Amino acid sequence: MTPVPHSVPTADRASPPPLPPRARAAHRAPTASGGRPRSRPSLRRRYARLGWLFASPALLVILGVTIFPIVFSVMMSVSHVTVLGGGFQLSGITGDNYAVLLRSDRWFHALGFTVVYTVVTVAAEVVLGTAVALVLERLTAGRSWMMALLLLPWSMITVISGELWDYIYNGVYGVLNAIVEPLLGHGVNVLGTPLLAGIAMGAADVWKTTPFVAIIVLAGLVMLPGDVTEAARMDGAGGWTIFWRIRLPLLRPTIAIAVLFRILQAFGIFDLPFVLTGGGPGDSTESLAMLGWRAMFQDLKFGPGAAVATSTAAIVLIGCLLFLKVFRSQVGNEEVGI
């Protein structure tokens, strides 16, 4: 009776050849100074500490020039502020500064003007910027030159552009009067009329910031998938239908970013009305930023001025949070189709 041969273990049948010393060293886990293998969480913590170390100088600068003034402004807005010969002194906690705002018709007027100005200018810039972006997208030659020319108004300092538009609107030697006077038979004092002054300031702002919106929307148009548009065109959809039913819903996140940036800038407008209208005539074009500046640095009312600044920041923050909430609720619900 022949003996049954013992089965050879599977590991012995297909045992891999031994790795060379360099390969074994490459596969070896990283070790700490004591020879113990270093885990991935410890490496992440080490890299995180290095990141915070390198970022700490910039964070300290931001803390000094941004966070500290905001915190100090909030403290000033809820304190009794006493103006002294060498500065001012904070004492006690009070809500009188905000009570002054709520009893002030001038604050409500500045708030209303700032809100209306922000809504009108941002809406005009989004419409015009989207139209300009669509034109630039269709350009095959000279797009770079057109974009460079388009960015000239945006790159110009607001004070300089305000002086430029002040020359255009001037009631004596302005360019606008030189064009309008032969048609109407008399000149128009644009900056001397409350309604016209607001429209003139809005036009100057739209001229300057529309290129910013156009560049952002153009970037979104370039990133859109082309197969959806081609499929809709093959199904017989026209240009307006493709834009309104397909491209515009896909552009919603890009337009939302542009709107958010413009709301933050427009609600804190100061330099353009300061140079162009001075808040006038009267206080018809006085923004919240100008009102806070006048309260603090002209009337030396530091408490109410700080309350104006803090309330403006709070209104902008609440508005942006509501905008982001509405935007997030609509993301993913775009109805793309024809």
What are the structural domains, with CATH classification, of the chain?
40-77 (no CATH), 96-330 (1.10.3720.10)
Is the CB of residue 209 less than 8 Å from the CB of residue 125?
yes
- Res. 153: pLDDT tops 60: yes
The band of 5, judged by pLDDT with boundaries at 50, 70 and 90, is very low
Distances, alpha carbon 114 to alpha carbons 111, 150, 268, 289, 316, in Å: 5, 27, 8, 9, 11
Query: What is the value of pTM for the model shown?
Result: 0.78
The DSSP bridge partners found for residue 37 are 31
- Res. 226: pLDDT tops 80: no
- Res. 53: pLDDT tops 70: yes
* Of 73-77, 114-118, 163-167, 246-250, minimum mean pLDDT range: 246-250
In this prediction, residues 233-254 reach a mean pLDDT of: 82
Predicted local distance difference test score (pLDDT) of residue 214: 93
- Res. 307: pLDDT tops 80: yes
In this prediction, residues 14-34 reach a mean pLDDT of: 51
**Residue 37: both structure tokens together:** 């293998």
In this prediction, residues 181-198 reach a mean pLDDT of: 85
